[in-house]
Structure 1
Amino acid sequence: MTDVFEEVEEEIRSERLKRLARQWLPIVGGILAVALIAALAWWGWQAMQTGRAHDASVAYQRGLEALQTGNQAGAESAFTEAAEKGNGAYKALALQQRAGIAVAANRIPDAIALFDQAADAAGDPILADPARFKAALLVMDTGTLDEIETRLEPLTEEGRPMRPFAQEALGLARLQFGQPAEARELFTLLTLGQDVPEAVRQRAQAAIGLIDSETAAGIAAIVAAQQVNPPAPVLQGPPVGETAPAQAPAEAPAP
């Protein structure tokens, strides 16, 4: 009888395992299939990203070589390709190179837009903040104080990589717009800062000296006057290879 009971129990366990297998094997198989598809998709995405990064680096290097030979059009085309194919660092660097070309061509609005795009593409403040700072410097030539402050003040926050340079630029902007007291506060912070480059510290001390001596009071008026009445161009000699026009000899004084 004991053997019969054991056989019955074994049969029951066997049927239970079969039932569990029929119930769970399709689910486990589906999970494994999804995991395999996800792994293959990840591998394919990684391979694609690696290929795009390689193509972007090749185009970026081609742009640098074009710049060295003075081929602005070729450099612009190569950096555009690098920005389109790359992401992150390569895209940000390529956009900044394009902005530099725009500055050289005096296309300042285009340059500002490209620097902004580079900052957005970079994400990391180490790459993004220099692009934002360069855009702010370009805005300082024609923008309002509110526009300049909107761009520079976030860069002056603690821990930002361009902080001392942004503080200096913001101080100069406030000085230019007739706010010497506010500018002096920023320059004083620069003279006391721990991580301020020595050159920036010295310029801040010089600016404080100008403010304290009230020499800086007329800076805004001088800048405004130069914008309305720009200084006369410096006269230069004749181009190379040409001679100056002959002048009539002065008459000799009467004896």
Structure 2
Amino acid sequence: MSDIFEEVDESLRQDRIESLWKRYRPFVYVGAALLIGLVAANEFALKPYIHKIKTERALALETAETQLKDGDYADAEAGFRALADGKSELAPLAANFLAQTLYEGNGDAAGAEKALQAVGNPTGTPFERLALLKAAYAKADTASLADLETMLTGVKDDSSAIGSLARELIAAKAYAEGDIARARKDFNRLKFDADAPEGVTRRAEIALAAIPVPPEETGAADGAPSPDGTNETTEETGQ
């Protein structure tokens, strides 16, 4: 008897499933079609489109770079500006080239600085951090040492080449403002910075040879302690 009831229950379940299937089958088909359509669109439409856009932008960048090398500044500026104003991954690189074009072609230092600051980011990509460093170089003559240090916060402490260049700029600005002790201290650290590019360490050596030792450091050079308890020899040799 129990087998009969089980067969009846099973039959009812099957009827119910069939009824539900007939009712919702169109929606299931639509959902499956949408899913397949989205996958197909991504695979056969979106991906090729994105690749096409990237290829077109890369070609546009290459064209503008060639125009810059050839001295065709007007067309180069238009090409770089169109890319720099976009949201693509090439925008920071294009902005660096745009700044170069504005400065070389028209002597437009203000425009170059504006283009660099628009994409400069201390925590961004290398090209975004490089743009920030270049903007700091553009402002170096008019900005104070404190302004440059604030502007380069997040970059000047990097162990990268960009960080070394930022510290070199700050050391040079310290010297320009007459802070000889600060300049020698910063250049001395760059001289022995293992992460600094060879060019930076070489320029640091030249700067140290050219910048006179302040009178207060003369005693330190003879072995007497400097006011902060250190001297350049100690820092250089680590002894």
Q: Same fold (TM over 0.5)?
A: yes
Matches within 5 A, 1:68-217: 68-84=69-85, 87-88=88-89, 90-104=90-104, 105-119=106-120, 124-214=124-214
Aligned-CA RMSD value: 3.2
Q: 1:67 to 1:15 in 2, by over 3 A?
A: same
Cα offset, 1:162, TM superposition: 0.5
Matches within 5 A, 1:48-67: 48-67=49-68
Cα offset, 1:135, TM superposition: 1.2
What's the secondary structure of 1:142's corresponding residue?
coil
Deviations 1:168-225 (A, max 9, x none): 111111221222233233222212221222231132233334445249xxxxxxxxxx
User: What CA distance in whole angstroms lies between the structure 1 residues aligned with 2:168 and 2:60?
Assistant: 36
Give TM-score scaled by structure 1 length.
Answer: 0.68
Match of 1:246 in 2: none
User: What CA distance in whole angstroms lies between the structure 1 residues aligned with 2:183 and 2:59?
Assistant: 45
Match of 2:11 in 1: 11
What's the secondary structure of 1:155's corresponding residue?
coil
Point out the more displaced range, 59-68 or 41-50. Answer: 41-50
Deviations 1:216-235 (A, max 9, x none): xxxxxxxxxxxxxxxxxxxx
Where does structure 2 lack aligned partners over 5 or more consecutive residues? 216-239
Give TM-score scaled by structure 2 length.
Answer: 0.72
User: What CA distance in whole angstroms lies between the structure 1 residues aligned with 2:101 and 2:57?
Assistant: 18
Are the aligned partners of 1:52 and 1:86 in contact in 2 as well (CA < 8 Å)?
Answer: no
Q: How many residues align?
A: 213
Cα offset, 1:33, TM superposition: 5.3
User: What CA distance in whole angstroms lies between the structure 2 residues aligned with 1:129 and 1:5?
Assistant: 76
Where does structure 1 lack aligned partners over 5 or more consecutive residues? 216-255
